[in-house]
Chain A
Amino acid sequence: MADPVMRVDDLNVWFEVPGGEVHPVRDVSFELQRGERLGLVGESGCGKTTVMLALMGLLPPNASVSGRVLIDGVDLLERGEVSIREHRWRDVAMVFQGAMNAFNPVRRIGAQLLEPMVFHGVEKGAAAKSRACELLELVGLPATRFESFPHELSGGQRQRAAIAMALACRPKVLLADEPTTALDVIVQAQVLDLLQQLSDDLGLSLLIVTHDLPIVASLCHRSVVMYAGQVAESGAALDLVRNPLHPYTRLLHAATPEIGGSGPIASIPGVPPRLDHPFPGCAFVDRCDVADDACASQQPQLLEIAQGRAVRCLHPEVHQ
């Protein structure tokens, strides 16, 4: 299934900050196949949201970006803001982290659903309106929500409406940035089911950013684990959970609390490295439980261990 709809090549992001430069995304590359669900996993501050925003060219003005983002072979970043604008929402749409606030509170849901369709000339007039109503029903909301204001919807409903809005222009790729963060567990499961069902039914390619490894394992085909702005490990989602190669993946999974479990919740000691200078060795060396002297001085490369399975570690935990 070598039919990537989206390819990210050597994506780098720098932020100009007072007193220097921060490098939160370092040589990130991955492919998203057509109809595939890919999870981008990592703890807060590992650069996953920055990757998302970079894919849509939505980083703040103090950011600079290098690398390529190809959608069906077309480089979105080639000419900066100008070239990416026509692709936004048409080719790549997004469900935001703060989906509670993804809607402008003073405008009706319907108007905000219509907006991208009309702007990109996908539909107009009555056809656009009926499509908007269809979309609302598709995500499990009554079409009457077209006339509602955002504050009249619950958090889960708003998230559904945000998904409907993201589908408005029939995008090739849907980015979902922590789509379930602010929701309670039941609604969370419903929204995830919805995403899975939509991607199955519409053949939608989905890139989900989350810190929640179990979500990825249950929802995604493949996943990419990020640490300190780098890809630490990538492979089939279930594989990563059952057979982690990178110590970070293993520890991250171990840190997931279990229902009915007793005792303290496991955590990974230490803090991620500062991102304003290059790493002398492995980025994870200070927190790793199997690190040795080599890890402190030698930068591990991302190595493809098996088909579709890569890891950035000097001592990958291969269990035969």
Chain B
Amino acid sequence: MTRYLLKRLAFAALTIFAALTVNFILFRALPGDAVSGLKCRQCTPEFKEAQRAALGLDQSLWQQYVLYLKGLLHGDLGNSWRPPHPTVWSQLWDPIKRTLPMILLGTVFSVVIGVSLGLLAAWRRGSMLDRTATGMSLAAYSMPTQWLALLMVLYLAGWLGLPTSGVKDPDLEIAQLLGDVGWWELFIDQLRHMILPALAIGIVFAGDYAIITRSALVETLSEDYVLTARAKGLSRWTVIRRHALPNAALPIVTLMALSLGTVVGGVLVVEYVFSYSGIGLTVVQAISERDYPVLQGAFLLLTVAVVFANLFADLLYPKLDPRVVLR
């Protein structure tokens, strides 16, 4: 077990190193840089050169790469290129605090919706209900996230009376500064801002969960032990709850870990539509400004998150299925 863990950790470090190298190259492969986009009266070529020198862009790619790695080894993600050059970490931390709960809520939505749909479909396999549920899952699966988000802004937000942009009610923010608002109100307000973006992500990914759950359940339901469970006289629901769902948990957990990366892709567009100032919006802004350190920092964190989510899922497997032995 310890051996396995060490092996996996070494492999994780290798994966992260490879990913950050690719990121480093990719951003610089884009035409133009942080300075070339500047347009102002004093932006003479000399001024731009001076700016490049200040940001270290005049050095060779190789030198920049070595500098970047050196910084990382000291736990330094660098500084944003946007004046007044705050550290990348301080730039990312607040958006992460806003995005993380939103992703979590979205995942809860997608698991609840997806697993229920998949369960219904598998339960009434071949029936009208199955076809409807499977059709809905495929529709959700293939739906563009931003389009769904826009539809929600247009129709759902008004109907539910939920805010369509931002992370906080501005009035409440002022009240908070004055200090006459309770934490409960703030919590509810942030939750209200989170619901629609989370639901957009939840619905789009519910399709994946529904399809995976259905196929896993259909497979387990044809197993001999399910027939045994029915022969014991258990009701259909008990059979599914005790003898099919636990066995279908493995692919669902795998999907949770694997989809983290794609979910962040969805977060990018969803936060844009809802002006939700989370990590997605930060990344979009950093791309438009060619703020390499912030981009590198954000993608590094994402890589670390995905790698460790997968490691965690692998460590969870033996708990879900005693036949799995890690070595």
Residues of A within 8 A of B234 (CB): 115-116, 119
Query: B224, A89: Cβ atoms under 8 Å?
Result: no
Q: Mark A87-124, 1 if CB is under 8 A from B, else 0.
A: 11110011011101111111100000001100110000
| CB of A133, distance to nearest CB on chain B (Å) | 19
Query: A101, B224: Cβ atoms under 8 Å?
Result: yes
Q: Which residue of B lies closest to A101 (CB)?
A: B224
A58-B227, A102-B228 given as contacts; is B233 within 8 A of A90 (CB)? Answer: yes
A58-B227, A101-B224 given as contacts; is B243 within 8 A of A87 (CB)? Answer: no
Query: A101, B223: Cβ atoms under 8 Å?
Result: yes
| CB of A280, distance to nearest CB on chain B (Å) | 35
A34 part of interface (Cβ distance < 8 Å): no
Q: Which residue of B lies closest to A115 (CB)?
A: B232
Residues of B within 8 A of A105 (CB): 225, 247, 321-323
Query: A58, B231: Cβ atoms under 8 Å?
Result: yes
How distant is the Cα of A106 from the Cα of B227 in the complex, in angstroms? 16
| CB of A114, distance to nearest CB on chain B (Å) | 11
How distant is the Cα of A149 from the Cα of B246 in the complex, in angstroms? 14
B235 part of interface (Cβ distance < 8 Å): yes
How distant is the Cα of A94 from the Cα of B229 in the complex, in angstroms? 11
Can you show 16 pairs from A to B with CB atoms below 8 A apart? Answer: A88-B231, A94-B228, A101-B224, A102-B224, A104-B247, A105-B321, A106-B246, A106-B320, A106-B322, A115-B232, A116-B232, A119-B233, A119-B234, A119-B238, A149-B323, A165-B228
Contact of A88 among B225, B233, B243, B320 (CB under 8 A): B233
Number of interface residues of B (CB under 8 A): 21
How distant is the Cα of A165 from the Cα of B229 in the complex, in angstroms? 11
A105-B321, A151-B323 given as contacts; is B235 within 8 A of A85 (CB)? Answer: yes
| CB-CB contacts below 8 Å: B211-252 with A | 223-225, 227-235, 238, 242-243, 246-247
How distant is the Cα of A93 from the Cα of B233 in the complex, in angstroms? 10
Query: B225, A151: Cβ atoms under 8 Å?
Result: no
Query: B321, A119: Cβ atoms under 8 Å?
Result: no
A292 part of interface (Cβ distance < 8 Å): no
Other contacts beyond A86-B233, A115-B229, A115-B242: 5, CB < 8 A = A58-B227, A88-B230, A115-B232, A119-B232, A165-B228
Number of interface residues of A (CB under 8 A): 28
Contact of A85 among B225, B233, B247 (CB under 8 A): B233
Residues of B within 8 A of A87 (CB): 233
Contact of A104 among B229, B230, B235 (CB under 8 A): B229
| CB of A164, distance to nearest CB on chain B (Å) | 13
A56 part of interface (Cβ distance < 8 Å): yes
| CB of B115, distance to nearest CB on chain A (Å) | 17
Residues of B within 8 A of A115 (CB): 229, 232, 234, 242
Query: A151, B322: Cβ atoms under 8 Å?
Result: yes
| CB-CB contacts below 8 Å: B188-223 with A | 223
Q: Which A residues form the contact surface with B (CB < 8 A)?
A: 56, 58, 85-90, 93-94, 96-98, 100-107, 115-116, 119-120, 149, 151, 165
How distant is the Cα of A103 from the Cα of B227 in the complex, in angstroms? 10
Residues of A within 8 A of B243 (CB): 104, 107
Q: Which residue of A lies closest to B249 (CB)?
A: A106
How distant is the Cα of A116 from the Cα of B232 in the complex, in angstroms? 6
Query: A149, B225: Cβ atoms under 8 Å?
Result: no
A98-B224, A101-B223, A151-B323 given as contacts; is B230 within 8 A of A106 (CB)? Answer: no
Query: B225, A102: Cβ atoms under 8 Å?
Result: yes
Query: A103, B225: Cβ atoms under 8 Å?
Result: yes
Which has the most chain A C-beta neighbours within 10 Å: B224, B235, B247? B224
How distant is the Cα of A106 from the Cα of B317 in the complex, in angstroms? 11
Q: Which residue of B lies closest to A162 (CB)?
A: B228
Query: A58, B230: Cβ atoms under 8 Å?
Result: yes
Query: A94, B225: Cβ atoms under 8 Å?
Result: no
How distant is the Cα of A196 from the Cα of B243 in the complex, in angstroms? 31
| CB of B237, distance to nearest CB on chain A (Å) | 12
How distant is the Cα of A106 from the Cα of B247 in the complex, in angstroms? 7
How distant is the Cα of A191 from the Cα of B60 in the complex, in angstroms? 77
Residues of B within 8 A of A96 (CB): 224, 227-228, 231
Residues of A within 8 A of B233 (CB): 85-90, 116, 119-120
Residues of B within 8 A of A56 (CB): 231
Residues of A within 8 A of B238 (CB): 119
How distant is the Cα of A19 from the Cα of B223 in the complex, in angstroms? 27
How distant is the Cα of A308 from the Cα of B233 in the complex, in angstroms? 33
Q: Mark B314-325, 1 if CB is under 8 A from A, else 0.
A: 000000111100
Residues of B within 8 A of A89 (CB): 231-233
A101-B223, A101-B224 given as contacts; is B321 within 8 A of A106 (CB)? Answer: yes
How distant is the Cα of A116 from the Cα of B234 in the complex, in angstroms? 8
How distant is the Cα of A74 from the Cα of B246 in the complex, in angstroms? 36
Which has the most chain A C-beta neighbours within 10 Å: B225, B228, B235, B242? B228
How distant is the Cα of A125 from the Cα of B238 in the complex, in angstroms? 19
Residues of A within 8 A of B320 (CB): 106
Q: Which residue of A lies closest to B320 (CB)?
A: A106
How distant is the Cα of A107 from the Cα of B241 in the complex, in angstroms? 12
| CB of B130, distance to nearest CB on chain A (Å) | 13
How distant is the Cα of A89 from the Cα of B225 in the complex, in angstroms? 14
How distant is the Cα of A105 from the Cα of B229 in the complex, in angstroms? 13
| CB of B254, distance to nearest CB on chain A (Å) | 15
How distant is the Cα of A106 from the Cα of B322 in the complex, in angstroms? 6
| CB of B197, distance to nearest CB on chain A (Å) | 36
| CB of A123, distance to nearest CB on chain B (Å) | 14
How distant is the Cα of A58 from the Cα of B234 in the complex, in angstroms? 12
Residues of A within 8 A of B246 (CB): 104, 106-107
Residues of A within 8 A of B228 (CB): 94, 96, 102-103, 165
8 A-B pairs with least C-beta separation: A88-B233, A101-B224, A116-B232, A98-B224, A104-B225, A149-B322, A89-B232, A102-B228
Residues of A within 8 A of B224 (CB): 96-98, 100-102
